[in-house]
Every structure is written in C-alpha cells, then in structure tokens.
Amino acid sequence: MDKIFHFIKRYLPRRFFSFLQPTYHFGLNWLGAALYHHPSENLIVVGVTGTTGKTSSVFLIAKTLEAAGYKVGYTSTAMFNNGQKEWLNDKKMTMVGRFFTQKILRQMVNNKCQYAIIETTSEGIKQFRHRFINYDILIFTGLYPEHIE
C-alpha cells in the first residue's frame, strides 16, 4: 500500500495529490475499522489532546482507572498497552495510522479492557487517524501559540 501511495505522490501534480489525500486517509481508516469490526464501539474511549501534557495525562488517567479496578489499555507517544502487555512506542508517532490503532483497540476488546485512553494529536486529526474511533470523552490539556501552525 505504501509503494502505491509513494508512486501516486511522485507522479500526480501536487495540488491534485493534496486534493485526494484526505480521501486516501479517510478510506484507510474506514477500512481498518471495518477489518477489526469497529472495536471502539465496545470500549469507553477517552481521547487526550492539546499542546502539552498529553502523554502524562494518558498515563495518569490509565493508572487511576486501573487503581479503581478497571481494565485499561492505552496508546501514547511513549507507550502502548493492550490490556495484557505494555511496550515502548517505537513508531515515532503519537497516533499511528495504517490500521495500527484499530488493531490495538481490537486487542483491548479481546483482552477484556473497559477503557481505552488514546493520545490524540492535531496532525493525526488532519490525516483522519481519529475517524472511526468512537470517543466517549475528550480531554483538552491546553492550546499554546507554538501549537498553531
């Protein structure tokens, strides 16, 4: 899929590619959600967004819910947790696209998680990575001038 994307990007005029890009991202996210049977519909999904404090907030919320006896999974810039295991985020992205988020949400459902805490970025939203994730709660940590481009 990436090879096709880069081939098209190379040979299409920039303006036309920019016009098609949202449809491309939207379609991939729809396909990922369909492939994994819309897992966010079976979780309470908390999105955390803002300029600063997203990763810390995700971790704090997850650990608070775990201490209250809930089974929790999360995705953040630093770590992933599917409700069964926790591992470092080596993807160098906060909101990983290309089906990854839907896949980890499905793992959370399969591992009997009740909550999913998702670190959500403006760049991820721009590329429709948040689409087909049914957020129940959104936490906004603040907006600062360096965030506005």
pLDDT band per the 50, 70, 90 thresholds, residue 134 = very high
Q: Is residue 114 part of a domain?
A: yes
- CATH number at 99 reads 3.40.1190.10
Q: Is residue 6 part of a domain?
A: yes
Q: Is residue 31 part of a domain?
A: yes
- Say yes or no to pLDDT of 25 above 70: yes
- Say yes or no to pLDDT of 147 above 70: no
Q: Is residue 148 part of a domain?
A: no
Residue 51: per-residue pLDDT: 83
Looking at per-residue pLDDT, the higher value among 11 and 46 belongs to 46
d(CA 146, CA 131): 25
Q: Is residue 149 part of a domain?
A: no
Edge to edge, what strands does the sheet with 137-140 contain? 86-88, 79-81, 72-75, 115-119, 44-49, 137-140
What's the number of domains the chain is made of?
1
Query: What residue numbers bound the domain in which 126 lies?
Result: 2-142
Residue 149: per-residue pLDDT: 53
Residue 66: per-residue pLDDT: 98
Residue 87: per-residue pLDDT: 96
Three-state SS for 68?
A: coil
